[in-house]
Structure formats: structure tokens, C-alpha cells
Amino acid sequence: MFHLIADRLEPQGLGHIAIGLIITIRSIQELNISLNFIDIILFIIFIISGASIFGAIQVITSVSSFWIVNSNEFMWAFFQAHEFAQYPITIYNKYIKGILTWVLPYAFASFYPANYFIHKGYYYLSFLSPLVAIIMWIIAVNIWSFGIRNYTSTGS
């Protein structure tokens, strides 16, 4: 599992982090959000939780490669669902909201934590993000272990 997670270092990730940081700082300024020490700690916790949720979903979907020889499309389909989380989940019907909250919990990586800072409701759900990240990793490790125990090679 460590090899999968640390498979490659992508230098463009540093650029993504820099751009994300610039956009976040600018947004905080434009929205006149004032952050105290507790808010900054929560901000860091929410970022770590969001990244952990994305990582867990990637591990969960990558287990398919134990049984599907060319599983990239399968993994890509699930991972691309995060595109839905770029928008407020309130624009979606209740089924999509449910999927983005409880099945593929991308909303806990973005929507709910953001609402904590902009005070647009769902306040209590933002605090579930770290718990959701932990639960997702428990699920990911168990699914990974199941895959390892039941893996049979292709014979080539």
C-alpha cells in the first residue's frame, strides 16, 4: 500500500499547492473572513482531512487492479466524481447530494469545511470531516487487505 501511495512524486503538485494557496488567501480577503487561531488550526485539520479522503478513495478504487487487468478506467471514473464537489452540493438533487456526502464523501473534503468559514449552514457537518477521513481510511485498509489476501496473479 505504501508503494501505491508513494508511487511517484509529481513536481506539478507543488504548483497546484501554490495556486491553491494564492486563491485561498485571495478568497479569504475578498470574502472578509477573519480567522482566529482556532480557525487556522481547523483550516489545517480540514485540509489534511480532505486530502485523506481523496487518498482513501484512490486506495479503495485501486484495489480493483487486483482483479481487473486494465483497471485505470474504473479508477478514473470514481476519482473523476470529485469534479461534482467543485460546486456547492446544494445545486444537486438529493440523490447526488447523498452520494457526494455518504458514498463518495467528497463533500466532506470541500463543501462542508468551506461552509464553516463562510457561515452558510451545514456548520455541524464540517466537524465530521476528520471522522469521515478516519472512517474512509479504515475502509480503505480493510478493502486493501481483502484484495491482498484474495489476489491471484494473471500467470504471466
Q: Does some domain include residue 23?
A: no
Q: Which residue has the higher pLDDT, 27 or 65?
A: 27
Q: Which domain holds residue 64?
A: 36-149
Q: Does some domain include residue 54?
A: yes
Q: Does some domain include residue 16?
A: no
Percent of the chain with pLDDT over 70: 92
pTM, to two decimals: 0.84
Q: Does some domain include residue 95?
A: yes
Residue carrying C-alpha cell 499547492: 17
65, 75 contact by CB (below 8 A):
yes
Q: Does some domain include residue 87?
A: yes
Q: How many domains does the chain have?
A: 1
Residue carrying C-alpha cell 480503505: 140
Q: Does some domain include residue 1?
A: no
At position 50, the amino acid (one-letter code) is: G
Q: Does some domain include residue 49?
A: yes
For residue 2, what pLDDT is reported? 72
Q: Does some domain include residue 136?
A: yes
pLDDT digits (tens, 9 = 90+) for 65-80: 777 777 777 777 777 8
Rounded Cα distance between 21 and 43, Å, is 12
